[in-house]
Amino acid sequence: MLELVGIGKTYRSGILEVEALRGVDLRVDEGEFVSTMGPSGSGKSTLMHIIGCLDIPTVGQYLLAGEDVSAMTEAQLADVRNRRIGFVFQQFNLLPALSAWRNVELPLVYAGVPRAERRRRAVSALERVGLAERVDHRPSELSGGQQQRVSVARALVTDPQLILADEPTGNLDSVATADVLALFDDLHDQGRTIVLITHEHDVAERAGRTVHMHDGRLLDAAPMGAR
């Protein structure tokens, strides 16, 4: 599904340079569920941004579903994001003025899908996350766990092969965390590829494989339970 070879990322601001990633090699097969752990500042979000085509590496090669995305323009990257990737963030990133289904249809607006089909697919995605009764509610009328399920529906609505989740349960209580993790299990069972960032061990354990980051480097991927 994706392969990173010798990926490095250096942030420059003025004379300051931060090497956020160095020599990262990672291969994720189609249908794999991989979690990424590591201390704050170790480069997890930077890695996620590169895998998600939100940013490009300073050095190295990134192949996503056979396409070399490391050399793409911003417009091409936006197209790849829209076609192939669903994002779930810690902060939900829902637009407060829009109802649940209006939030969920947004990726379809960018993809140029006609309005009637957008509504149908948005409602269907909300049904899949158990929110059939909440399609017209705004984020402020929903609990944190329900808001995160809306954002999972938004990630699903384009039917992407790859789901990227950055601390998706970081703002949730234990009940809502269990709900959201059950959704990720379903997505995995359906054959989707999932890459999840977390610093919670019990969340990481849901994945088939955990990789660890430290100081911008990816440590060897250990089999589950070996650390």
Asked if 190 is part of the footprint of ligand ADP (rule: CB under 6 A), the reply reads: no
Closer by beta carbon to ligand ADP, 41 or else 130: 41
Interface segment toward ligand ADP; rule CB under 6 A; list 69-77, 87-95, 138-146, 184-192: 87-95
Asked if 74 is part of the footprint of ligand ADP (rule: CB under 6 A), the reply reads: no
Asked if 84 is part of the footprint of ligand ADP (rule: CB under 6 A), the reply reads: no
Asked if 110 is part of the footprint of ligand ADP (rule: CB under 6 A), the reply reads: no
Asked if 60 is part of the footprint of ligand ADP (rule: CB under 6 A), the reply reads: no
In whole angstroms, how close is the CB of 168 to ligand ADP at the nearest point?
8
In whole angstroms, how close is the CB of 43 to ligand ADP at the nearest point?
4
Asked if 105 is part of the footprint of ligand ADP (rule: CB under 6 A), the reply reads: no
Asked if 36 is part of the footprint of ligand ADP (rule: CB under 6 A), the reply reads: no
DSSP the chain: -EEEEEEEEEEEETTEEEEEEEEEEEEE-TT-EEEEE--TTSSHHHHHHHHTTSS--SEEEEEETTEE-TT--HHHHHHHHHHHEEEEETT----TTS-HHHHHHHHHHHTT--HHHHHHHHHHHHHHTT-GGGTT--GGGS-HHHHHHHHHHHHHTT--SEEEEESTTTT--HHHHHHHHHHHHHHHHTT-EEEEE-S-HHHHTTSSEEEEEETTEEPPPBPTT--
| Residues at the contact surface with ligand ADP, assessed by CB under 6 A | 11, 13, 18, 20, 38, 40-46, 54, 87, 89-91, 93, 166-167
